[in-house]
Structure 1
Amino acid sequence: MKFSSRQPEAANMQLAPMIDIVFLLLIFFIVTWQFTRSETELDVSVPTAQEGADPERQRGEIVINILGDGAIRIEGTSVDLSQLLEKLSSIASQFENQPVRIRGDGGVEYQRIVEVIDTCQKAGIWNISFATQRPTPSQ
């Protein structure tokens, strides 16, 4: 009696779906990197400080940029204090202990910074931090 041994067929690995997933992940990370980069205005020169917290952002942190001329920008759009209050109030009602980072230009008037802080507190946001940079080492 002759027995036939059946070998299972070799499993073929499909590369096309794997390549699709890799490209989708790549696109996702590039897009999210671009969004976080746009939140920090490049023309804001934050003040320097010897001691300060790490520049790492907290999860879900909102970045408020205050330009040298006193203009307020959040998420790439210019807003006034009433629009800022409306936006922050809606966010604070959804997320408890919402973190906010204020990036004020070193030359901006202190009163403008206080107005933004006051607006954050009116909206119910108390978790506020300030962006600084380390001074350049002197030669």
Structure 2
Amino acid sequence: MNFRNKKHKLLEISLTPMIDVVFLLLIFFMVTTTFSKNTIIKVILPQAEGQPVEQQKQILTLTIDKSGQYFIDDISLGDKSLDTLEKALTAYKGNKNIPLIINSDASAPVQAAISVLDVASKIGFKNITFATQK
């Protein structure tokens, strides 16, 4: 009979899998969480009740009519393409601090206004507003 004491290996608890799971849960909750207080937004455009924006000496006015045609300072752009709009806005690229005011018809396609915002922000305009009426 062999009554020798067997040496037992010490049990080790590996924390690496638990840290990985916690990290993945953290990433999941960060991605799926919304950080806005209002989830339902009711928008009625172009009418609004608000304070008028103070007039500045230089402004750039971009108008969108109901068919989606673009006008910069009442001068019609040749077509509705985004390349033409980007070239026209790039001409004002030197002074990005001038406000860009978007006058959009109430029945104009929303995609036209979103495209203007996308192109203007890509060029570097920082002061972009929509014109509304009371």
Taking structure 2 as the reference length, the TM-score comes to: 0.58
Contact (CA 8 Å) 1:55, 1:131: kept in 2 or not? no
The residue that corresponds to 2:91 in the other structure is 90
Give distance in 2, aligned partners of 1:63 and 1:56.
15
1:67 Cα deviation after fit: 0.2
Aligned to 1:109: 109
SS, match of residue 119 in structure 1: helix
Query: Which residue in the other structure is 2:70 paired with?
Result: 72
Structure whose CA Rg is larger: 2
**Matching residue's letter, 1:59:** K
1:66–1:102 CA contact under 8 A, matched in 2: yes
Structure 2 stretches lacking a partner, 5+ long: 1-44
Per-residue CA deviations over 1:94-129 (Å, capped at 9, x if unaligned) read 214121000000111111110011111121112101
Runs of 4 or more, structure 1, over 3 Å off, are: none
How many residue pairs get matched?
87
- Compute the displacement of 1:47 (Å): 1.3
Give TM-score, length-normalised by structure 1.
0.56
Provide structure 1 residue ranges, at least 5 long, that are not aligned to the other structure: 1-45, 135-139
1:96/1:115 Cα in 2 relative to 1: closer, same or farther (>3 Å)? closer
Separation in 1 of the partners of 2:58 and 2:98? 8
What is the CA RMSD across the aligned residues, in angstroms?
1.8
Do the aligned residues in 2 keep the contact of 1:65 with 1:104 (CA within 8 Å)? yes
Q: Identify, as 1 or 2, the structure richer in helix.
A: 1
Are the aligned partners of 1:89 and 1:124 in contact in 2 as well (CA < 8 Å)?
no
In structure 1, C-alpha distance between the alignment counterparts of 2:115 and 2:49, rounded to whole Å: 26
